[in-house]
Structure 1
């Protein structure tokens, strides 16, 4: 597959965020990964002011326990504060795990 690379701002970088499939199922329903990815992409576009945002998705299913299966979201072209806004949007969608305070 050919992939065109676009100029990325100097303070932007490539980031990967894993969204557990179980959270996608809780928020969107069973077999609604496409709908969830559409919403994730919309959140990325809303958070990012760069015209050349690159966003791709892939499954992470190597672990034998399905609890750990996830969708990897690779984003290129977001600055730090834009990425923070993106993560807040994912949390509003129910796609970020709550912090486990006090657990080691």
Structure 2
């Protein structure tokens, strides 16, 4: 089992400031960077990248390179202002099933599906039909 080589913490990173971030807020929805929206109201797209595929593509434990690749893909398409959270699923006894989970807040479904297809093409995700 290779649990020791897989970080077990969750990182929450905002890669780009949201529109209007830093402005004074009157307390309504849209307040500040994330607004006052309940967790149930926020749409989260989840992408599961097998750790074995990240290691094959980027070498070693270069999980940040996988995150940078996704960020670059989104930027190249003019997609900005998403909150991206990373965590690791290493609960399974077989390391083959360990994965980095990327949760992207507010990603439109069409962009999410395009990203899923591109991850598969790049060898970082499961094949999408």
User: TM-score range, shorter-chain basis?
Assistant: 0.7 to 0.9
Would you say the 8 A contact 1:20–1:69 is kept in 2? Answer: yes
Match for 1:19 among 49, 52, 76?
Answer: 49
Partner residue, 2:29? none
2:47 alignment partner, SS class: strand
- Using structure 2 for the length normalisation, give the TM-score: 0.60
Partner residue, 1:40? 70
Would you say the 8 A contact 2:117–2:127 is kept in 1? Answer: no
Residues 71-99 of structure 1: CA deviation (Å, up to 9, x unaligned) = 00001111111112212332232201236
Residues 21-77 of structure 1: CA deviation (Å, up to 9, x unaligned) = 01101111122212122112222344563x431111111111111111000000111
CA 1:7/1:84 → structure 2, altered by over 3 Å: closer, same or farther? farther
- Using structure 1 for the length normalisation, give the TM-score: 0.72
Larger Cα-atom Rg: 2
Number of equivalences: 94
Runs of 5+ in structure 1 lacking a partner? 100-104
Would you say the 8 A contact 1:15–1:76 is kept in 2? Answer: yes
Match for 2:90 among 61, 75, 92?
Answer: 61
Would you say the 8 A contact 2:43–2:106 is kept in 1? Answer: yes
